[in-house]
C-alpha cells in the first residue's frame, strides 16, 4: 500500500511540475508573456510592457554578481541601472565596477508582417567581469546601439532573428570602431528558448584581451513561473579569450512585475 501511495504522489508531483512549466509565462518559449530584451549579452528590440519593472540577477566567474533594474515608464522606452562586483561570493577582496551602468532603449517602430522591430539606445554596462586595472569590462559595453528584430513561426516553433550595430566608448578614442552583432532565438516547447549570439568584436583594439575570432555565446532560458525566467549561458565557445581560454558558464535570473511608479 505504501509503495502504491508513493507512486501515486510521485506521478502527481511530476504531473504538477509539467503543468506548471507548460503554463509558465516568463520571457522564454512559444508561450512567453514578456518579450526577451537581450540576445545573450547584446540588447534586442524587445521591450518591457508599460509600467513593468524587470530585475536581472547574474552570477559568474570569480564569485562575481551583477544586478540590473529596468523600468518602462512609456510603451516605447525602457530605462535601467546596473552594478556588479567581483569576489562577492567566495574568497578574495571584493572589487566593484568603477561607475554604475546606465541604459536607455527606445522602440523606434514595432514589428509588422514584413518589417522588423527597430530599437536604438545606449548602455555603458559591459558583460562578464569588470577589470579595474584597465577600467573596462571583459566584454565591451554596447555604447550607442541600433538593433533590428524579426520573429517567425515555423515547424519548430517560434524563432527570432536579430542584428545590431554598436559603438562602444570604453576604448581610447583612436581605438574605437563600429561593431556588428548577429543572433537568433529559438523556442523549445512552450516554456524554454535557445539563444545564440555572435559578436564580431570589430571594436576590440589590437592589444586586447581577445583574439581575432569573434565571440560566440549560447544560452538556454526557462520560464519557471509567471514573470520569472532562469537562464544558463555558455560563453566564448570559440575560445577567443586570452585570459581564460575555456568556455565560461554563467547563471541568471529574471523577474518581471508590474509596478505603477
Residue pLDDT, tens place only, 92-135: 889 999 889 999 999 999 999 899 999 999 999 999 888 888 88
Q: Is residue 12 predicted with pLDDT exceeding 80?
A: no
pLDDT band at 22 (very low <50, low <70, confident <90, very high): low
Residue 3 confidence (pLDDT): 53
- The domain 2-258: what is its CATH number? 2.40.160.40
| Cβ-contact 170, 143 below 8 angstroms | yes
- Could you tell me the pTM of the whole model? 0.86
Distance CA(104)–CA(107), nearest Å, equals 10
Indicate if the pLDDT at residue 172 is higher than 50. yes
pLDDT of 187 reads: 93
| pLDDT at residue 145 is higher than 60 | yes
221-233 average pLDDT score:
93
Reading phi first (left if > 0) and then psi (alpha if -120 to 50, else beta), residue 239 is in left
Q: 23-69 pLDDT, tens per residue?
A: 568 899 888 899 999 999 999 999 999 999 999 999 998 889 999 99
DSSP code of residue 48: P
Mode of pairing for the β-strands spanning 127-131 and 136-139: antiparallel
Q: What pLDDT is stored for residue 222 in this prediction?
A: 93
Question: Which stretch, 9-13, 164-168, 203-207, has highest mean pLDDT?
Answer: 164-168
Amino acid at each position: 500500500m505504501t509503495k502504491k501511495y508513493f507512486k501515486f504522489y510521485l506521478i502527481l508531483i511530476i504531473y504538477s511540475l509539467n503543468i506548471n512549466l507548460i503554463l509558465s509565462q516568463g520571457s522564454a518559449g512559444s508561450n512567453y508573456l514578456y518579450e526577451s530584451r537581450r540576445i545573450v549579452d547584446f540588447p534586442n528590440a524587445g521591450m518591457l510592457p508599460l509600467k513593468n519593472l524587470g530585475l536581472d540577477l547574474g552570477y559568474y566567474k570569480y564569485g562575481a554578481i551583477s544586478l540590473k533594474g529596468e523600468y518602462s515608464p512609456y510603451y516605447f522606452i525602457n530605462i535601467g541601472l546596473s552594478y556588479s562586483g567581483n569576489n562577492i561570493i567566495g574568497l578574495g577582496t571584493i572589487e566593484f565596477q568603477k561607475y554604475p551602468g546606465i541604459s536607455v532603449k527606445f522602440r523606434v517602430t514595432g514589428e509588422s508582417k514584413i518589417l522588423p522591430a527597430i530599437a536604438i539606445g545606449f548602455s555603458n554596462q559591459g558583460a562578464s567581469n569588470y577589470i579595474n586595472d584597465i577600467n573596462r569590462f571583459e566584454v565591451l559595453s554596447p555604447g550607442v546601439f541600433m538593433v533590428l528584430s524579426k520573429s517567425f513561426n515555423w515547424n519548430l516553433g517560434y524563432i527570432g532573428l536579430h542584428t545590431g550595430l554598436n559603438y562602444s566608448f570604453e576604448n581610447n578614442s583612436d581605438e574605437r570602431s563600429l561593431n556588428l552583432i548577429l543572433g537568433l532565438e529559438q523556442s523549445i516547447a512552450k516554456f524554454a528558448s535557445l539563444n545564440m549570439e555572435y559578436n564580431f568584436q570589430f571594436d576590440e583594439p589590437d592589444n586586447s584581451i581577445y583574439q581575432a575570432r569573434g565571440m560566440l555565446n549560447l544560452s538556454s532560458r526557462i520560464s519557471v513561473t509567471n514573470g520569472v525566467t532562469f537562464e544558463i549561458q555558455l560563453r566564448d565557445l570559440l575560445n577567443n579569450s586570452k585570459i581564460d581560454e575555456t568556455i565560461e558558464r554563467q547563471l541568471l535570473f529574471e523577474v518581471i512585475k508590474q509596478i505603477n511608479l
